[in-house]
Amino acid sequence: MNITIYDIRHAYDVFNNVIMYYVIAISIAFVVLSILASYAMNKYKRRNGFVDYRAILSTELAPGISIIAPAYNEGNNIVENVRSLLSLHYPDYEIIIVNDGSKDDTLEKLIEAYDLYKVHFAINYQIETKDVRAVYKSKNKAYSDIVVVDKENGGKADALNVGLNISREPLVACIDVDCILAHDALLKLVKPFMEGDRKIIATGGVIRAANSCEIQAGEIKKVRLPTKYKVRVQVLEYFRAFLMGRMAWAQIDGLLLISGAFGMFDKEVAIRAGGYDPKTVGEDMELVVRMRRLMHDEKTKYRVAFIPDPLCWTEVPETWKMLGKQRNRWARGTIETLWKHRRLCLNPKYGVMGMVSIPFWILFEWLAPLIELTGIILYTIMAVFGWTNWTYYISFFILVYCFSVMFTVFAIWFEEETYQQYRKPKYIVILLFTTILEPFVYHPFVMLSSVKGNIDWLRGKKSWGEMTRVGFNSNKKKEATPSTPTD
């Protein structure tokens, strides 16, 4: 078979068209999502005007909550983190800290600070996990709601499964132990479970970047915009992902992801679905998809809810290296989940999840960086051969660029209209400049990290990769967390 120059040119033209239609499709999808998010946000604000969450505190009708917080080498901050959890406003909750075989003094510090002692504890192994070495409770009645579990190292998912086995309450809030929760986070997150016309199986709230914020005694005292460019872009990403993306998906009941940093689940459904999968690095998304799948298989009417309140503050990566590892892992986690549940794709039995969410994730989350990189490579080759229509190429680039800037400005607008956490006027100006610069440095880096995640997935890589955190209010570098990273 002879391949002529004409054939190559023809293939190039076809690819050009594919790219164009893909960009049109993704743009329309994002516009639709922003319209849906706007509607959902407006509805939420109207429904929750004058809501008095304090009513929950004064009655015994609120469902009990078990907070499950895996900890791996968290010795530097664990005592403060648990103290912060103890100050949450809720009438009936227990805190389960799962020490996932830490190599540092996490357990010893907990024992000393909270006056813990080993207790006999019959564990209902509804989900298979690594061995539990011991369970500790406090002699001090003030800490009677703390349960500390010491177990063999098995990763974050395994630690969360131990928490699920041990928890005594019907709802479980799975969190990263070093996240800072708003005092009313549980009150707000439990409300959808109580008011659902259908069974609510999971709820999530908005996660924010705590970098550069002023933090005292485990509480955000002053919200500041991060000083580093790459951290600021992540602030914008979180606006887009949470205020626009997840609000929109929740509105059409197609939400597939409740952040691992903070989410609340119906324990009974989570256990029946099999708990977290320790074999994936995207255990948060995978569990939600599996729970939803179970509900569909059982023909139970259900919903995954999302609320736009900023409930949880987390430290996002501050270095390119850490950011790259994180995005690599996110890409692998997404692919693992989508691949594992590929039979759901375009399967009408699974409703919006099967017909809309999964195809969207495959097309615009999994494949987007691959298509983008392929396009760049091909355009470069064509440029070398002198076949590139530069006027067309530049006009196309400007089009995509303008759309991305417009979309991000929408996201900033959403933030302004809802909670306006970044109050100083200069922050808005800085965010605009960050928006303008995002596509030039940050975006290519994230795209390449995701592509690397695809390659690593093909190679069968399963590890989380070491995550180093700067730590809140500290310049001291913290020990890596290879098994149970907290972002």
Partner 1 sequence: MDGLVQLFHAFFPALDSDVLIMNTLLSALFFIIAILSYYVIMATRLIKWLSNKPKVIKEAINYITSELYNEEISKAARKDYAKKNLTSRFLKDIYVYQCVELHKSLSGELAQDLKQLFADLNLTEYAMDHFHSYDWATKANAITVLAEMEYKVAREEIILFVNHYNITLRYKAQVAAVALAEKEPFDFLQYINKPLNEWQQLQILNAAMNLKTEQLPLFSNWFQHKEPTVIVLCIKLANHFKQYEASEKIIEKCADPHYDISLQAIIAVKQMGIYNAKGLLLDIYSILYTPHQLEVLEFMPSIGDEDSIDFLKNIAHTGDFRHRLLAIQALLSLIGNKEELILELQSDDSELEEQQLMINHVLDNSTI
Decide: is 298 part of the binding site for partner 1 (CB under 8 A): no
Report phi then psi at 311, rounded to 5.
Answer: -105, -20
- Give, as ranges, the residues between 420 and 439 that touch partner 1 (CB under 8 A): 425, 428, 432
Decide: is 348 part of the binding site for partner 1 (CB under 8 A): no
Distances, alpha carbon 228 to alpha carbons 223, 266, 271, 413, in Å: 15, 38, 41, 22
Nearer to partner 1, 360 or 413 (CB): 413
Decide: is 62 part of the binding site for partner 1 (CB under 8 A): yes
Nearer to partner 1, 334 or 421 (CB): 421
Nearer to partner 1, 49 or 460 (CB): 49
Decide: is 195 part of the binding site for partner 1 (CB under 8 A): yes
Minimum separation from the CB atom of position 147 to partner 1 (A): 9
**Whole-angstrom distance, CA of residue 172 vs CA of residue 174:** 6
Decide: is 405 part of the binding site for partner 1 (CB under 8 A): yes
Report phi then psi at 259, rounded to 5.
Answer: -55, 140
Nearest to 149 by CA among 164, 171, 127: 164
What does the per-residue mask of binding to partner 1 show for 15-54, with x meaning CB under 8 A?
Answer: -----x-------------------------xx-xx-x--
Decide: is 356 part of the binding site for partner 1 (CB under 8 A): no
**Cβ-proximal residues to 40 (8 Å cutoff; 6+ apart), any chain:** 247, 248, 250, 251, 308
Minimum separation from the CB atom of position 391 to partner 1 (A): 6
Tokens of 221: 């005292």
Tokens of 474: 């500290």
* First-to-final CA distance of the chain: 52
- Cα-based angle 43, 222, 51 (whole degrees, multiple of 5): 30
Going by DSSP bridges, is the β-strand pair 132-138/146-151 parallel, antiparallel, or unpaired?
A: antiparallel
- Give, as ranges, the residues between 117 and 146 that touch partner 1 (CB under 8 A): 119-122, 124, 135, 137, 144
Decide: is 398 part of the binding site for partner 1 (CB under 8 A): yes
**Whole-angstrom distance, CA of residue 93 vs CA of residue 145:** 7
What does the per-residue mask of binding to partner 1 show for 147-186, with x meaning CB under 8 A?
Answer: ----------------------------------------
Distances, alpha carbon 5 to alpha carbons 2, 35, 196, 383, 387, in Å: 10, 45, 62, 15, 11
Decide: is 294 part of the binding site for partner 1 (CB under 8 A): no
Name the residues that contact partner 1, by CB under 8 A. Answer: 20, 46-47, 49-50, 52, 55-56, 58-63, 119-122, 124, 135, 137, 144, 191, 193-197, 391-392, 395-396, 398-399, 401-403, 405-406, 409-410, 412-413, 416, 425, 428, 432
